[in-house]
Amino acid sequence: MAKILVLEDSPPLQSFLKTLLQASGYQVSICDKGLDGFAYLSEQSFDLVLLDLGLLDMDGQDWLIEYRQWSTLPVLVLSARDGEVEKVTALDNGANDYITKPFSANELLARIRVLLRTQGHPSIAFTCGNIKIDPQKHLVTVAAVEVKLTKKEYAILLMLFQNKDKVLTHNAILSHVWGEQYINRPEYVRVHVAQLRQKLESNPANPKHILTEPAVGYRLLD
């Protein structure tokens, strides 16, 4: 049974989507704030996100940009914004599809089925020793046992995997995970890397995979 996260701030539409999706055999979680959506996605595994661009605490376009820094999970935008520029911007920001309100139940369900079929294809997973990260499922395991990471821990780990064997500077990580305004604050990275080692390394005090390059940054090695 596929799990769908709905980010929508309209209570009537929340109720409609929950009833429709559950009747169609999906598990559904709903929230109306972007930050709550990040929390859900950091703590649970989902197969698809339905995203309204008008969230209570942030614009959906900004949510997409941040989310695509650490996940490839399919996102279907549901929005009353029907302008071509808005649609193109959402797709450029990482949306997989865009449907304008009002929409029919049948059209929505058909688009969901298409995205879930795509999601069902084998995903590209990265491994390093007994550590494995599956970006499409947003899943991290150590010796086949799932490990829960925070959003920033996950983003750092994914960046290390995508650049395995390369040195990543503190500022490169800060810019990618926190934003340009946090450059030259290496202590942020050190704290999160220490937490990653506690969760992933068999001997965090003498790490085998997440290695420190003194005064420079970090490197991931098999």
96-133: per-residue pLDDT in tens?
Answer: 999 998 899 999 999 999 998 876 544 568 899 999 99
Q: Which of 73, 83, 154, 87 is nearest to 119 (CA)?
A: 73
pLDDT, tens digit (0-9, with 9 covering 90-100), for 31-55: 999 999 998 888 888 999 999 999 9
Q: What CATH class has 126-220? A: mainly alpha
Q: What distance in Å separates the CA atoms of residue 4 and residue 1, rounded to the nearest whole number?
A: 10
Matching residue, tokens 């109720």: 15
- pLDDT number for residue 123: 55
Mean pLDDT of the chain: 91
Predicted TM-score (pTM) above 0.85: no
Cα torsion angle, 76, 77, 83, 88, sign: negative
pLDDT digits 0-9 by tens, 207-221: 999 999 998 999 999
Superfamily (CATH) of domain 3-119: Response regulator (3.40.50.2300)
Rounded (5°) CA angle 87-89-124: 100
| CB burial of residue 195 (10 Å; 0-12, 13-18, 19+) | middle
For the chain, give every domain's residue range.
Answer: 3-119, 126-220
